[in-house]
Amino acid sequence: MNCLCGSAKPFATRMRFIILMHTKEAHKQRTGTARLAKLCLKNAELIIGTDFTHNERINSLIQDPAYSPFVLYPGPAAASFKTLGKEQLPAGKTLLVFVIDGTWRGAQRVLRKSHNVRALPRLSFSRGYSSQFIIKKQPLAHCVSTIEAIYYLCKEGQEAGYEKLKGQEEILMSIFKELVDTQLGYQKGKGRRREERPDKES
């Protein structure tokens, strides 16, 4: 697959993103959407593992008084930029968002094992979105890829006045669409090569 690093144009967000990549995803995906998101975001970090309960870096960030930590994950009690109040996001504090990267089942496993992350309040979207990751089948209609989730959160943060991105968030979707188009082209190319392969003589 062609490297998409040249398409990444890093931009700064007010939010700080910590991407928790499942170990299996890290080994399986050399150019996954989490890594592409990390390339595009100046204020982001990517950490690999399955159980982050005793991870010193994670715990130091959660306990840092400069941050208001949340985990980006749906649920009935999840807040959104429309419902975040002063108690959840006090003045002077930066929104720290943990984003779990992996299959839906893998993400659930990370959340179940990581007691420190699981204990965080949840943040989600105020609207429903459908994934444009057409090269992968999503388990549920509301499941989106990591880079899409960050993009939609940036968009809603912009609408709420928390972010001042001036359209820079579109870089995320631009590189994501390039990834999808590249993989579709690769799959079509493989299909053509199979069709053009001559039959073996009996």
Domain presence at residue 50: yes
Q: The whole model's pTM is what?
A: 0.84
Domain presence at residue 178: yes
Domain presence at residue 108: yes
Domain presence at residue 3: no
> What is the residue range of 29's domain?
11-196
By the 10 Å C-beta count (0-12 exposed, 13-18 middle, 19+ buried), 90 is classed as exposed
Domain presence at residue 6: no
Domain presence at residue 32: yes
Q: How many domains does the chain have?
A: 1
Q: Give me the tens of pLDDT residue by residue for the chain, a chain 202 residues long.
A: 455 666 668 999 999 999 999 998 877 766 688 999 999 999 999 999 999 999 999 999 999 999 999 999 998 999 999 999 888 888 889 999 999 998 888 999 999 999 999 999 999 999 888 776 655 555 555 578 899 999 999 999 999 999 999 999 999 999 988 887 777 655 565 545 545 555 544 3
Domain presence at residue 111: yes
- pLDDT at position 30, please? 60
Domain presence at residue 4: no
